Structure 1
Amino acid sequence: MQIRDSMVSVGEGAAVEVRRIRHEQSQGPTLVFLHESLGSISLWRRFPEHLAKATGYDALVYNRLGYGSSSDEELPRPYDYQEREGAVILPRLLDELGLDKVVLIGHSDGGSIALIAAGALGERAHALITMAAHTYADKLTVDGITEMMDRYQTTDLREKLQRYHGARTDDLFRAWHTVWLDEGFDESLDFSDWLAGIQCPSMIIQGEIDEYGVPEQVADIVAGIGASAQPLFLPDTGHSPHLEKPDQLLELVCDFLLGIEPVKSENRH
């Protein structure tokens, strides 16, 4: 496989940092990885590479606006930032790269964005996999963010995050907790139309001991999508299955993806 990093335009003078993992010959849709609120390309570790190798699919991992070397994001984050990312920015990125058939894989905030993108992309979405996605801020979400804010101020968490986000660390942390603890933001969230528009096979994953989300998040998402969605709870797993149980998750996701009817790759590049 070949791994290359580059900058790709997403319109309006903005560009995002992308990492492409490619085989000599593409064997299906492209895996698209959407990171969490405090995540990045590098914080996926090697999971994208391992999944690309196991499935034979190419992969695309990118830093959202405001992360890594990507252009700045709008701050403070508007209430509709997830919709803009999933329904506007990501489709522009896929168009720019000529990717017509994708598997959306999102973690936490990226999982929520993946739900929106799957609804927006229609038949371009071959499959959807979310881990710890949220469609509202439940009690565990609020309590977990509040606890994280305390750790940010009293422990070495800030220094650890600076290894990945550098000078943007404070802005990213503030953007994350400010919007998610805003009651107006929670009241504005409405995923019903996006979920109803999802046509592809979907695996909705959550750790049984996820400290940021109640199990009802999964039940509500699956109900909103319908028969094409299946829930999956991982025992002894918290908020980040790809970091806590990478081998188990890799096997489960591979079985899910390779069990879907094969499609001929339609990627133009």
Structure 2
Amino acid sequence: MQMVSHTFLPILLLLPFLSAASADVAPGPTPPELNLTSILYKGGQYTTLLRLLQATRITEQLSSQLKNSYDGLTFFAPNDNAFAKLKVGTLNGLTDQQQVQLVLYHVLPRYYSVTTFQTASNPLRTEASGPGGVYSVNVTTSTTSQLVNVSTGVVAVPISNTLFAEFPLAVYSVDDVLQPEQLFGRKANNAAAPVPGQAGEAAGKATARKKGVPKSDVAAEPSASGQEAEDSTNAAARGRGCVEWGTVVAFALMAVVNLVGA
């Protein structure tokens, strides 16, 4: 019994120190929140986007991708002011499939930090696709600042705020809805301007078509020299007419003289 007491004595003396040491160990870091809906709710100005996500059920798809993807995801989140810039009825005018395409157009199938955007190669493919293939965006950065600009061919907008950026998910706020050309068409002021001098010609051809005149028959206004030539031709014709009448009268007089002499 005496030997047993000596064996456990050092352990009993160390127990207070072990308890104190364990109390000083800080808890492990909490895993980052990867729920897109929670991130947007916390942002406080994404009501329209949240309704659209709920209607299209895209959040379920994105959550599944985050759990099974090694590349992560990047999401551009239009705020309520961005949706307010759209024409009234724009969202309601889209079919269910087009609304899904619009939401997925705001998703890049890879995690991009602001620094990573600086080395990205355009165009960047999105999660949206259609009959023409995968929809894409162009992202440009500034060498003097961390400004990141996203262009779709219809709108161009900078990232205004970072809502969340921890691999595998990055969520960036934007002040415009990213509109793909495949759904909204190219912006009107991006159309090529007519070459100077062609506008008048085009107007003339359009007028001719309205009158039923073939394009090949559209002629320029007659020049002064052409008008003078026409006047000269008409005068010559009148002169020839006078000579012919004079000849007829002379023959008639000669006939009358011959009859009298006989």
Q: Same fold (TM over 0.5)?
A: no
Task: Decide which structure has greater helix share.
Answer: 2
Task: Indicate the TM-score class for this superposition, using the shorter chain for normalisation.
Answer: under 0.3
Q: Relative contact order (C-alpha < 8 Å, sep 6+): which is higher? A: 1
TM (normalized to structure 2)? Answer: 0.26
Give me the TM-score of the superposition, normalised by structure 1.
0.26
Higher CA-based Rg: 2
